[in-house]
Amino acid sequence: MYLKLSRGRCAALAQIVLTAAVISCAVNANDAATMVREQIESRGIKNPAVLQSLRNTPRHLFVPAQVRALAYTDQPLPIGYGATISQPYIVALMTQLLEPSKELTVLEIGTGSGYQAAVLSPLVKYVYTIEIVPELARSAKAILQKLGYKNISVRAGDGYKGWPEKAPFDRIVLTAAPPEIPRVLIDQLRPGGRLVAPVGENVQDLVVIDKSQDGKISRRSVIPVRFVPMVKGTEAGN
Ligand code: SAH
């Protein structure tokens, strides 16, 4: 059985559906703007390009339907497979600490939902991102493609190996926490480059590593954070 609708009714129905879609988009844009104002600017993030990218990135499309209503709230959210999308403020802070600019190439370890990569995309030249859970790599790739991001490559694999074929990188960001910064990743950082990572077990420090032009490493801690651990891959799985 199906409903018979007159042309007029059909048009009216289409109008309602369209209006609902427009309203829901507007609400989400509004949510992102409110999130930036109340959670991010208020905590001292100032880089205007970073703030703009956070306003423009549809966080609700990177989280599972069950938690979509919470997408713009001040917390990390589960995205399956034991992974979480980081709290918006932490994404903002790490992005600002990376001092992004248009000529830079970035390596991210821990693609998860793809949100951090999407936030970085308009701020840099290219983002390479590695995710150890193949299903997450696949879904992140799908949403990034659907939304039209052109300067992001997602690879399923073990971040402890980095991405040697594309190294060196101007910036490296880890969104899973290793007990110590893997030497391989420091080696894949270009002289003059910067790496930002949560480091440690249970409670971690958000650490900024700078590599000088002559290869010297300096390190400072910014704040305590809590990320999922960076797990070791198995040879068979990678
Ligand atoms: N940046 C993500 C948040 C990621 S949560 C976002 O914006 O949504 C951390 C992610 O790191 C998880 O998806 C986890 O599976 C992944 N991960 C853990 N160990 C890893 C490793 N050795 N290599 C690559 N990814 C890893």
Q: Where are the domains of the chain?
A: 73-225
CA atoms of 62 and 57, how far apart (whole Å): 9
Q: What is the pLDDT of residues 39-93, one digit of tens each?
A: 999 999 999 999 999 999 999 999 999 999 999 999 999 999 999 999 999 999 9
CA atoms of 176 and 83, how far apart (whole Å): 9
Tell me the average pLDDT of the chain.
91
Q: How confident is the model over 11-25, as a mean pLDDT?
A: 54
- Give residue 193 CA to ligand 1 midpoint distance, Å: 22
For the question of residue 6 being annotated catalytic, the response is: no
* More confidently predicted of 68 and 6: 68
pLDDT reading at 216 higher than 90: yes
Q: How confident is the model over 198-205, as a mean pLDDT?
A: 93
CA atoms of 36 and 139, how far apart (whole Å): 26
Q: How confident is the model over 216-234, as a mean pLDDT?
A: 94
Q: How high is the pLDDT of residue 1?
A: 42
CB of 129 shorter than 6 A to ligand 1 = no
- Give residue 131 CA to ligand 1 midpoint distance, Å: 6
- Give residue 121 CA to ligand 1 midpoint distance, Å: 18
Atom of ligand 1 nearest to the CA of 86: 3
Quick one: 148 exposed, middle or buried, by C-beta within 10 A (0-12, 13-18, 19+)? Answer: exposed
Quick one: 222 exposed, middle or buried, by C-beta within 10 A (0-12, 13-18, 19+)? Answer: middle
The domain 73-225 is placed in CATH, from the list 3.30.70.20, 2.40.420.20, 3.40.50.150, 3.40.640.10, at 3.40.50.150
Q: How high is the pLDDT of residue 202?
A: 81
- Give residue 52 CA to ligand 1 midpoint distance, Å: 24
Q: Tell me which of 109, 129, 172 to substitute to probe ligand 1's pocket, judged by most ligand atoms within 8 Å of the beta carbon.
A: 109
* More confidently predicted of 201 and 237: 201
* More confidently predicted of 56 and 26: 56
Q: How high is the pLDDT of residue 26?
A: 53
Q: How high is the pLDDT of residue 236?
A: 43
pLDDT band, residue 237 (cuts 50/70/90): very low
Q: How high is the pLDDT of residue 238?
A: 45
pTM of the model: 0.89
**Other beta carbons within 10 Å of 42:** 10
Q: How high is the pLDDT of residue 5?
A: 53
Q: How high is the pLDDT of residue 112?
A: 98
Which candidate in 53, 86, 113, 121 is catalytic?
A: 86
CB of 127 shorter than 6 A to ligand 1 = no
Q: What is the pLDDT of residues 106-147, one digit of tens each?
A: 999 999 999 999 999 999 999 999 999 999 999 999 999 999
Closest Cα to atom 20 of ligand 1: 230
Atom of ligand 1 nearest to the CA of 158: 23
Q: How high is the pLDDT of residue 235?
A: 52
